[in-house]
Structure formats: structure tokens, C-alpha cells
Amino acid sequence: MQASYPLRLKQVPNDNSVVYAFICYKAVLQSRHKKGDMIMYPSSSHDTREQHTPQIQYDMPQSHYTLQSQYTPQSQYTPQSQYGLPTDPIPPVTPGRHVLPPLPYAYNALEDIIDEKTLRIHHDKHHKKYVEDLNKAELALQTARNSGDYTYIKHWEKEVAFNGSGHILHSLYWTSMSPPGSGGQPHPATQAYLERDFGGISHFWAQFSAAANAVEGSGWCVLGYNPYFRSLEILQAEKHQNLTQWGVIPLLVCDVWEHAYYLSYQNERAKYVKNWFGLMNWPEVEHRLNQAEPASYSL
Ligand SMILES: [Fe+2]
């Protein structure tokens, strides 16, 4: 039996929460790849696909196991798609135009577990501030690009990471919850992943709650789908401002640890970075962009 996946988080009932969002991501990714597309990477020390034969026939989408065998080494890779800008019905958010999403329920809907006043302040003040400051940072970076003045690049990159992550994680937090008694049970695909990756919902919850209780300071506990390992992961985010925006899929990375350049460049990182431009593998960026683009969420 083939699972039927909704394609957008906003189409998912409240009871499915963020777990379903990540499952949707996987389903969308698979549903949009045509036969022959190359979506997998060579085996690495992390790749356990050989030991990871799915045991559950229905629920685990099977197509990616087929696609794995169709992998074409990077050296033979030729971009196949005639790529234009995404035609996804969800429009991209242009710099400075993020908006605070409304709560998907009334402020008092979570009473007995989360009181109305807490929810109102959390959403209307804290989350709103993240959105406002994200917009401010994005516009500042746009100004920097236009002027070529990157004097304050470190400050604005930190701001865009801190506030972008705050906006994304809070948006997911609201939809991760539903009024008491209405959350239901894990749906079939979620159930299958929980069984395979954690040994069932009770083991999942034991690990998730232990991890949540052990987060130091302010932070988050996250159940996420790792598209590289094709599995669910529970992760702690102790400081979401650590220069990432949750959900971003890397396309191009430059290692700027000293071990990457010190023997040739010593402490001249700028020289290494400048020369690194000549190493950039644009077909590979295109390949990864083609993999990532189908994963468009709405918040
Ligand atoms: Fe918060």
C-alpha cells in the first residue's frame, strides 16, 4: 500500500505537528524526483544503507532505495533538469518581508498545559520580535550587498541566524502542538519511521523527553528528518543562534578551520578564501540545489 502524503504543512491537521512536516519533506522530495534523477551520494562512513534494509513494506517509501542504486558518481554527473527558478505555488520570501504567522488555535486552547497569558506573550511579543529583527537584518544585508560595505557583516550574519532560527523554530513549535485531547496518534508513515529509527513511540518519547530535560539553558528539542542519512534524528539545540537557520540545506560549504589551509597559508585565511573561489564546483551546486528545491515548506 502506498502512503498518501499531504504536500504542505498547512494542509496537515493540527494533530500531526512538526513530525509530519519532516515526513512530508521526504515524501515531496521523492515524489518530485523522476526515475533517473540522481539524488543520492556515495557511501561514506555515515552511510548505513547496507544495513538499513527497510523492514516495513508499506510505510517506508520504497522509491529512494531504488534511486540509491541509480546513483551516478559525481565525476559522471551531468545536470539533467532544465532549471529555472522554482515554480512552487508557495512564493519565496523576499528580504525583509517575513510575517508573524497567526496561532493555529485560540490563545486559551492549550489551557491546563500552557496558560493563555504565556501563550499570548510568547507568540505576540517574543516570536513577533524575532520576525521584526529578521526582517531588519535581511534588509541590512541587502543594503550591504548594494553598497559593497561589509563592515558589519559579522553582526548582521549573527542577527539573521538568531532571528531566522527563532522565527522558523517558533513557527514549527505552534504547529507542533494542538489542543489537549485532539492530537491523535502517529499516522502510518510517522509510526513506521518511529519504529525503524527508535524502536517505537515509547522509546522515541523516552529519548526525546530525556534530551529535552537535559538541554542546557534556553533551547529546543527537535525531532527532525535528516535527508542525508534518510532517517529521523532527535537533536538538542542549546543555542539556536549558533549561526544557522534551522531547515537550511547546505549547497556549498567552505572549510575555514585552520587545518584546511594553515600549511600553505598560515594565518592568511582571506588569501585562502579568495583562492578557494577558483575551486568551486558549480555543477555540484546545481545538483544539490535540484535535490533541495522540492523541499519547500510553508510556516
Ligand atoms: Fe520561545
| Same-domain check for residues 293 and 174 | no
Compute, in angstroms, the gap from residue 170 CA to the centroid of ligand 1. Answer: 6
**Confidence at 54, pLDDT banded by 50, 70, 90:** very low
- 133/164 Cα distance (integer angstroms): 9
> What residues does 231 pair with on adjacent strands?
226
| Same-domain check for residues 203 and 247 | yes
| Same-domain check for residues 54 and 198 | yes
Compute, in angstroms, the gap from residue 249 CA to the centroid of ligand 1. Answer: 23
Per-residue pLDDT at 170: 92
Compute, in angstroms, the gap from residue 243 CA to the centroid of ligand 1. Answer: 18
**Confidence at 131, pLDDT banded by 50, 70, 90:** very high
Above 60 in pLDDT, residue 25? no
- 67/43 Cα distance (integer angstroms): 14
| Same-domain check for residues 251 and 140 | no
Q: What's the CATH number where 131 sits?
A: 1.10.287.990
| Same-domain check for residues 85 and 14 | yes
| Same-domain check for residues 211 and 282 | yes
Compute, in angstroms, the gap from residue 126 CA to the centroid of ligand 1. Answer: 6
Q: Tell me which of 45-49, 65-69, 260-264 is least confident.
A: 65-69
Buried b (16+ CB within 10 A) or exposed e, 87-96: eeeeeeeebe
| Same-domain check for residues 194 and 178 | no
Per-residue pLDDT at 108: 94
Last residue of a domain, one of 122, 155, 184: 184
For residue 251, the surrounding DSSP H or E stretch is none
Compute, in angstroms, the gap from residue 50 CA to the centroid of ligand 1. Answer: 40
Q: Give the pLDDT mean for 32-50.
A: 34
Residue range 140-158, pLDDT digits in tens: 999 999 999 999 999 999 9
Average pLDDT, the chain: 73
| Same-domain check for residues 32 and 87 | yes
Above 60 in pLDDT, residue 59? no
Last residue of a domain, one of 134, 154, 184: 184
Q: Do 55 and 192 contact (CB within 8 A), yes or no?
A: no
What type of residue sits at position 211?
A
Number of domains in the chain: 2
Last residue of a domain, one of 148, 164, 184: 184
Q: Do 21 and 2 contact (CB within 8 A), yes or no?
A: no
Per-residue pLDDT at 68: 31
Per-residue pLDDT at 159: 95
Determine the structural domain holding residue 143 and report its residue range: 94-184
| Same-domain check for residues 271 and 287 | yes
| Same-domain check for residues 202 and 150 | no
Residue range 65-119, pLDDT digits in tens: 222 323 333 334 333 344 455 555 677 889 999 999 999 999 999 998 899 999 9
Q: Do 208 and 221 contact (CB within 8 A), yes or no?
A: yes
Grid cell, residue 224, equals: 527532525
| Same-domain check for residues 58 and 196 | yes
What type of residue sits at position 97?
R
Q: Look up the pTM and report it.
A: 0.69
Compute, in angstroms, the gap from residue 198 CA to the centroid of ligand 1. Answer: 27
| Same-domain check for residues 87 and 202 | yes
Compute, in angstroms, the gap from residue 218 CA to the centroid of ligand 1. Answer: 9
188-198 helix and 17-32 helix, angle to the nearest 10 degrees: 100
